[in-house]
Structure 1
């Protein structure tokens, strides 16, 4: 199962995102759920780095993705992350046996 944990600051801005696990919807290389989650998350990281120029730590290793924002949180970064969340929420509705979301 893929677990998505979102952490928000006191202003309700997304400041951390941890995506761990594997969907196991299908065999490796054919898992559309893993591919969808990975595509959304990796595109969000590219947007944070290259479009929003958001400072932070972005780690993608061993199937886990961690986003930790620091410094001033930009409106652009929040737009990118909230859009990512919309996609992840939709995937978790359609594939609830394979993806869970926790938004704190």
Structure 2
């Protein structure tokens, strides 16, 4: 199962998120849940870095079953608003996947 944990500040802003595990919804190379989650998350990270021109703190596992992204604290508030919008959009897409394939992915906010 893929577990997505979203850490939020006291202002309810996303400060980091972590994804662990594998969906195992199909054979390797044919796992549509894994492919969808990967496309949404990596696409969102790339969009934030490109469109907001910031460096995120990124940790990845060697087997593809781990991603942790931390947003630096020192970001200008205008840029932070853009980062938040893009990552909230990512969460909406992931929640859509969870709604359809909840036995393979769980999302929680902390």
Larger Rg: 2
User: Is the contact made by 1:59 and 1:65 (CA closer than 8 Å) also made in structure 2?
Assistant: yes
In 2, Cα distance between the equivalents of 1:59 and 1:50?
A: 18
Unaligned stretches of 5+ in structure 2? none
CA distance in 2, matches of 1:86, 1:95: 14
What displacement does 1:60 show? 2.5
Show CA shifts across 1:15-73 (max 9, x none): 11001100000011000000000000000110121111234302222321111011226
Q: Are positions 1:60 and 2:60 aligned together?
A: yes
Structure 2 length normalisation: TM-score?
Answer: 0.89
* Deviation, structure 1 residue 8: 0.4
Indicate conservation of the 8 Å contact 1:54/1:77, yes or no. no
Q: Would you identify which runs of 4 or more consecutive aligned residues in structure 1 move more than 3 Å?
A: none
DSSP 3-state at the match of 2:3: strand
Q: 1:78: which partner in 2?
A: 84
1:97 alignment partner, one of 76, 94, 103: 103
- Which has the higher mean CA deviation after the structures are superposed, 57-66 or 2-11? 57-66
| C-alpha distance in 1 between matches for 2:13 and 2:4 | 16
By how many angstroms is 1:10 displaced? 1.1
